[in-house]
Structure 1
Amino acid sequence: MQTNEPLSVTAALSERLRQAIVAEGGWWGFDRFMAAALYTPDLGYYASGRRTFGLLPDNGSDFVTAPELSPLFGQTLARQLRQALVASGTADIWEFGAGSGALASQLLGALGPAVSAYHIIELSGALRERQRQRLAIEQPTHLPRVHWHDRLPETMRGVVIGNEVLDAMPVQLLYFDGQQWFERGVGVDGSRFVWRDRPTALRPPVPAAFVPGTVTEIHPQAEAFVRTLAGCLTRGVVFLIDYGFPEDEYYLPQRHGGTLMCHRAHRADPDPLVDVGDKDITAHVNFTGIALAGQEAGLEVLGYTSQGHFLLNCGLLELMPPNDPRAAAAVNKLVNEHEMGELFKVIALARGFDLQHFEPIGFTHGDRSHRL
């Protein structure tokens, strides 16, 4: 029986991808599938206009980010950004993937006139509109200084911030059967997406003792992003905050299932081939690869540490309101090792000014650059 009812966004995206995969020989690398699931205009997870960020699933959100958890995150981060602006002699902030606009609002409120222009690089038109609406309410006096871009400029100066940006960049999947490596891609079986593997010359970046059945990720797009960013940045500092590990921890034999994960309604699941476009798809960041990509492109690594150490170094506890249990609970989630404090890391990269006399306050204690 035929129906004239329109397909749901998820069904429409799945049908489009199935047709494309079949038309192109029945196989896509996972990185291409992930990009389509997240960023297909009007249909992808980040492009459909759905509410993705929030504290609880009751409001339709799928996960919470640090700026949504507490305004203290942005207010504390602003201390580090202010120091970096002064040291680099710049006055522009560049934020990648500004999400709901919460971090932009917090930074603008905390930095005030120290910022001459706040640039948001955002691919999603729906998210750009959501950010604009939020800033119009929360930071109306600063809104004229906010500028949106859908691509990197040819050159840029200033301080760059990316909070949970790298984890949303498409990854390639590798599978080891005990004898050889395969690239794990996506095929079609009737109405379903299925895993299909092809022999490959690709390898993880470390020669670890991988066990048979290992599935892991490599991150060429995130590393290419850092190299491209380095080519644009003539003077300034980059702060990237995300969940991940240095490569000697990332590719431990014990982590034989990889780090690929989906998020919906504040619950995680490991299957990106189901309900495509209706949930987030992420992978942890290999921070060693990020550091090397930056160095190869002319950036200097200034520091690498856990989010907990970074925020405490920047004076988070000094900003906490007294006798506020809700604020204290949020701070615990931001810095405790069993919450976001250890899983999330911060890396800083810079170029174009005298770095010998710049010691970022966020890495005063607990710098782990030697472990990258």
Structure 2
Amino acid sequence: MPLPLPSPAAQQSSANLQTLLAKEIKKHRNWIPFSRFMELVLYTPQYGYYTGGSHKIGNNGDFITAPTLTPLFAQTLARQLQELLPQTAGNIYEFGAGTGQLAADLLGSISDGINRYYIIEISPELAARQKDLIQTLAPQAAQKIVHLSALPETFDGIIIGNEVLDAMPVEIIRKNEGGSFEHVGVCLDNGRFAYSAKPLHDPSLSTSASLYFPQTDYPYTSELHPQQYAFIRTLASRLKRGGMIFIDYGFDVAQYYHPQRNQGTLIGHYRHHVIHNPFDFIGLADLTAHVNFTDIAQAGTDAGLDLTGYLPQSHFLLNLGIIELLTQVGKTDSPAYIREAAAVQKLIDQHEMGELFKVIAFGKNIGIDWAGFRFGDICHKL
């Protein structure tokens, strides 16, 4: 089935971005690492996927997120936050708040327990949408919202990141048949963007690739995530008291770098279609890679945080009583219940979001027994 064509305005935006990308590549002798290409595609001001003007999330966007499926997701998460916020200054810090649905629903559920709700957002278009939605859905608590375009110097509260880590640029590394590593980047080939590999000279990337990549007698390509690691370390250094909760799709290191997963996990999302060529719909398609949760856990513990837990999203939501909240929606034969039940099924079913999506949490100077991790913790797999 052919993919939907972009509008003329979207095509022009993509063309402008491609011109900037070509200039960047030519400036660096016709080669930039894939991480730099991904950064520019996603975050170039005005033209990048997250910094442009198109709607990304929802039925009319490119993908669906858990908060936009059902308010029960936020109401369930609120139960965990109600347990944690009193141990802190009462602040929530949300990264990558998307449409603002999660913030609006959390403010609607526990506004009395929230001091300030900080949204760290680099996209002006998304920030405007977030403000409008929160004003519409939670007007009584909208004054608690503070938008930031840069990291605060300190955190005292709970940091939330739902599908944030997967949107960070990744390095692509290839191990050839001889066992040596190559750094995969992007070049111009007859005016078109193409993959291009060079010998890997970065010592830290070489060390990580040697540690993670399996022994195979065939070429093996995958991603490394130094930006995710640095991000967690930075947050940890600024967290004075509180916790960090990240919800995303990914694997532990053994699953991520399984010998059979020899083409990595990088994919694109465009109008609810998966695309495998990152050079299609440049600036109009989301580029994303799965999260290596072993690396995330290592980053947090290296920075002195307590690893609170790690488990599938289904276990986290069930531990916090999402089924109980579902029963409060209405009669089981009512349209509202049927709609919400279908959404909850998608959130917890192992063949949908329940198993692929994981929740990892860290704490500092607060209690370590969190209700969301009461049963089903799989930290031993990390």
Which range, TM-score by smaller chain? over 0.9
Alpha-carbon spacing, 1:253–1:150, altered in 2? closer, same or farther (3 Å): same
Partner of 1:51: 55
Does the 8 Å contact 2:297/2:307 carry over to 1? Answer: yes
Deviation, 1:351, is 0.8
Alpha-carbon spacing, 1:10–1:112, altered in 2? closer, same or farther (3 Å): same
Gaps of 5+ in 1: none
Partner of 1:272: 278
Letter in 1 for 2:191: S
- Name the % identity: 44
Matches within 5 A, 1:170-185: 170-179=169-178, 180-185=180-185
Find the partner of 1:365 among 367, 371, 375: 375
1:104-149 deviations in whole A, cap 9, x for unaligned? Answer: 0111111121001100000111111110111111111111110000
Deviation, 1:191, is 2.7
Partner of 2:322: 316
Letter in 1 for 2:169: P
CA distance in 2, matches of 1:50, 1:146: 23
1:256-307 deviations in whole A, cap 9, x for unaligned? Answer: 1110000001010111122210100000000000010111111110000000
Partner of 1:222: 228
Does the 8 Å contact 2:166/2:248 carry over to 1? Answer: yes
SS at match of 1:141: helix
CA distance in 2, matches of 1:97, 1:177: 36
Matched, 1:287 2:293: yes
Partner of 1:343: 356
Matched, 1:108 2:107: yes
CA distance in 2, matches of 1:137, 1:6: 28
Matches within 5 A, 1:191-202: 191-201=191-201, 202=206
Does the 8 Å contact 1:303/1:369 carry over to 2? Answer: yes
1:205-226 deviations in whole A, cap 9, x for unaligned? Answer: 3252235232100000001000
TM-score relative to the length of structure 2: 0.92
Partner of 1:17: 21
Alpha-carbon spacing, 1:191–1:275, altered in 2? closer, same or farther (3 Å): farther
Number of equivalenced pairs: 360
Letter in 2 for 1:53: I
Partner of 2:167: 168
Partner of 1:261: 267
Deviation, 1:7, is 7.1
Matched, 1:329 2:342: yes
Does the 8 Å contact 1:241/1:345 carry over to 2? Answer: yes
Does the 8 Å contact 2:32/2:186 carry over to 1? Answer: yes
Partner of 2:30: 26
1:166-218 deviations in whole A, cap 9, x for unaligned? Answer: 00000000112211110110001233100000111424232522352321000
Letter in 2 for 1:44: G
Deviation, 1:370, is 1.2
210-219 vs 96-105, which moves further: 210-219
CA distance in 2, matches of 1:251, 1:211: 15
SS at match of 2:228: helix
Task: Kindly report the root-mean-square deviation, in angstroms, between the aligned alpha carbons of the 2 structures.
Answer: 1.4
SS at match of 2:277: coil
1:9-30 deviations in whole A, cap 9, x for unaligned? Answer: 0000011101110121100100
Letter in 1 for 2:351: H
Partner of 2:125: 126
SS at match of 1:160: strand
SS at match of 1:342: coil
CA distance in 2, matches of 1:45, 1:190: 25
Partner of 2:6: none
Alpha-carbon spacing, 1:210–1:102, altered in 2? closer, same or farther (3 Å): farther
Letter in 2 for 1:326: R
CA distance in 2, matches of 1:340, 1:8: 35
CA distance in 1, matches of 2:317, 2:184: 38
Does the 8 Å contact 1:244/1:345 carry over to 2? Answer: yes
CA distance in 2, matches of 1:7, 1:77: 39
Does the 8 Å contact 2:120/2:148 carry over to 1? Answer: yes
CA distance in 2, matches of 1:341, 1:303: 16
1:322-362 deviations in whole A, cap 9, x for unaligned? Answer: 41111111010000000000000000101123x3xx31111
Does the 8 Å contact 1:176/1:211 carry over to 2? Answer: no
CA distance in 2, matches of 1:63, 1:6: 17
CA distance in 2, matches of 1:6, 1:348: 38
Alpha-carbon spacing, 1:6–1:298, altered in 2? closer, same or farther (3 Å): closer
Letter in 2 for 1:237: G
Alpha-carbon spacing, 1:241–1:211, altered in 2? closer, same or farther (3 Å): farther
Find the partner of 1:209 among 207, 212, 215: 215
